[in-house]
Amino acid sequence: MPSKVPDGETRGWIVPIGGAENKENDRHILERFVDVSGGADADIVVIPTASRMHETGPRYEQVFSDIGAARVTVMDFDTRRDCQEPGRLQRLEAATGIFFTGGNQLRLTTLLGGTPVAKLIRARNAHGVSVGGTSAGASILSEHMIAFGDEGSAVIAGSVRLAPGLGLTNRFIIDQHFRERDRLGRLLTALAYNPFAVGIGLDEDTAAFIAPDETVEVEGSGGVTIVDASTLSFSSTDEAREGQPLCMLGLRLHILVAGATFNLHTRTAAAGGLLRPKE
């Protein structure tokens, strides 16, 4: 469960990124992550555990350093025992921003789930520390995580598997590489199982900066697909056999681009700095 925000404090930003964010020319997404993590005073811990590539952590370390973070540390976890080491926990306590790289989200949850590190990251976010991640590192941020599923636009019973995520919030379910890998169907299927949550589908090089007041602010070159199941009037999930198409009535869908917003509490979207939509 998400950690409770102490009286008088403000929750930190939650920043899921759809993957393949620009790290070379226009690094606006990563630059803003540094900004919400303290700017020139940012102290960032990069966790590359989802990736099997040794160069992943050092690459983000270099990018965040080049952007201007005061300190950047790569902290990998090879075993669950690593998640109990006092030195690692102390380093995370000092961080103002924690960033998960891409890779395999099940590797992250298998190694970190239920450990002191996972509990500490939830607590630090509740105390104002920004937590972000890209691709697999975005999927794990919420309580309900898409572990894997079929691609395509069809909504099919049994076509997606959910697993417990890091649990910073229970208000949304993330899917990434969204339009590039045609993942609308599996996000809708996940929402059929859990209509309380808001579905957030992130295109590549696109991020949802979720503010302490639960407003989603879009950054990047792509779009964010918001699926609101709170108005769902009918679902055949309880009747359909595995492999059968699902019927879902009353869903609301928004497509947001940079500058647009969505409030997770009121479930309202706004064009922001874009042209006003026609009445």
Burial code (b: 16+ CB inside 10 Å, e: under 16) for 21-30 equals bebeeebbbb
> At 111, which CATH number?
3.40.50.880
pLDDT of residue 275: 54
Q: Is residue 27 part of a domain?
A: yes
Q: Is residue 234 part of a domain?
A: yes
Catalytic residues: 135, 177, 204
Mean pLDDT score, 7-34: 96
pLDDT, tens digit, for every residue of 149-200? 999 999 999 999 999 999 999 999 999 999 999 999 999 999 999 999 999 9
Task: Supply 134's token pair.
Answer: 């890209």
Q: Can you tell me the distance from the alpha carbon of 102 to that of 162, in angstroms, rounded to the nearest whole number? A: 18
Q: Is residue 254 part of a domain?
A: yes
3-state SS class at 165 = coil
Phi and psi angles of residue 209, each rounded to the nearest 5 degrees, phi first: -90, 105
Q: Can you tell me the distance from the alpha carbon of 88 to that of 107, in angstroms, rounded to the nearest whole number? A: 19
Q: Can you tell me the distance from the alpha carbon of 208 to that of 16, in angstroms, rounded to the nearest whole number? A: 6
Q: Is residue 167 part of a domain?
A: yes
Q: Where are the alpha helices (H) located in 101-178, listed in sequence order?
A: 105-112, 116-126, 136-139
Per the structure, how many domains does the chain have? 1
Q: Is residue 98 part of a domain?
A: yes
Range of the domain at 39: 14-270
Q: Is residue 8 part of a domain?
A: no
pLDDT, tens digit, for every residue of 220-264? 999 999 999 999 999 999 999 999 999 999 999 999 999 999 999
Q: Is residue 144 part of a domain?
A: yes
- C-beta of residue 190 within 8 angstroms of C-beta of residue 176: no
pLDDT of residue 274: 60
